[in-house]
Every structure is written in C-alpha cells, then in structure tokens.
Amino acid sequence: MVKESIVICICGMAGTGKSTLAKRLAKRYGFKYYSGGDALKALAIDEGYKPLERGWWESKEGMRFLERRSEDPKFDETVDKKLLELARQGNIVLDSWTMPWLLEEGFKILLEASPEKRAERIARRDGMSVKEALKALKSKEEKTKAIYKKLYGFSLGEDFTPFYLILDTNNLDGEEVFHILCLVMDNIVLESSKDC
C-alpha cells in the first residue's frame, strides 16, 4: 500500500492562531510548511516595501501594499499559483486564505474567533491598543475580502463550504487548539490515508 500524499490547509482570519498552529503541525508531522502571507511579503519586499516587523499587515505600509494588491491581481495570482504547485507535491501544511477554495484536494481547517478576541490577541502581539487593532483588522479584512471576491468569486469569512473542520478558538489557548488538531490529524487525516 502506498501512503497517500497529504495536504493540510489551515485558514483563519488574523488573530485566530492559524500561522503558529500551521507551523507547529508541519513540524510535528514532518511536513513542509508554506504561508501565503509570507509569500506575499516576499513580493512586497521585491516592490520596495519593508515588511519586517510583526503586525506589518495592519500597519500603514501594509495597508498601502493591500491597496496595490486590490489594483493589480498579479501579486495574489503569483502566490496562489505557487501554493497550488506546492500542494501537488504533498505532505505539506498550507497557511492560506485562498487555498480552501482553490484546491480540490486536501484536508481544510478553519479557525474561528470573534473580532474582539482576535483584536485582543493582535494588540497583545503587536503592542497596540485593542481599539487600534480592531480598527486595523476591520479595514484590512474588508479590503482583502473584496480582492478575493473580485479575483475568485468566494466570500472569505462567510462561505464555509470547503471546510472539513471549523474550530472556534475563542475560549481555547494555543496548546488546546494544537492538541485538538493533533487528535484530528492522528484519528482522521492520517487514519484515512492508511486506507488508500
């Protein structure tokens, strides 16, 4: 029996913990990790931006790059094409807002949390007030949703059809979420791949 090539896609709005958890899952299971956000930052650097500090996406410069992305789809299209190529190689964890809709295969997980809880986490992470974080998240997410709606036709944060698992992280800490995702990996994802 040949073990199936596994693709895990983790999605979630900023502050749900998706990047941290995707990295941890990849490390635990010996998979590659690839982030759509990191790939977009690399393209931003090529364009002369300096996305080096934490919370860059919510900064004024990050918002300027978001405006560029809404005017020119090449940035998102380049990243998504790369993610699709990597997914074909398998045994990868993708940290992405688009892949759940663009990928046919893979186990797709959505991490959810209220805007207030996410703003609290972002404020703590980036050293800003919760009010500032909430305002930045709202603006960033409205623009990002508009980009993906125009480019691909799906409604980020509203369309849940691609997901096999939706986990509310409001009242869970990172360790609890990681433990749950490991249980899902061990008992659902990896078990079903043994049957192939």
* pLDDT, tens only, 45-59: 999 999 877 778 888
Q: Is 19 within the bounds of a domain?
A: yes
Mean pLDDT of the chain: 91
Q: Is residue 114 part of a domain?
A: yes
List residues bridging with 7 in a β-sheet: 92
Mean pLDDT of the region 113-126: 93
164: left (phi over 0), alpha (psi -120 to 50) or beta: alpha
Range with the lowest mean pLDDT among 131-145, 152-166, 182-196?
182-196
The domain spanning residue 83 has which CATH number?
3.40.50.300
Do 109 and 189 contact (CB within 8 A), yes or no? Answer: no
Convert the pLDDT of each residue in 56-76 to its tens digit: 888 889 999 999 999 999 999
Whether the predicted pLDDT of 193 surpasses 80: no
Residue 2 resides in a domain: no
Does residue 111 form part of some domain?
Answer: yes
pLDDT at 53: 74
Domain membership of residue 170 as a residue range: 7-194
**Domain assignment of residue 92, yes or no:** yes
Is residue 1 in a domain?
no
Instruction: Examine residue 165 and state whether it is found in any structural domain, yes or no.
Output: yes
How many domains, the chain?
A: 1
* CA–CA dist 103, 79 (Å, integer): 13
b/e sequence 74-102, b meaning 16+ C-beta within 10 Å: ebbeebbeebeebbeeeebbbbbbbbbbb
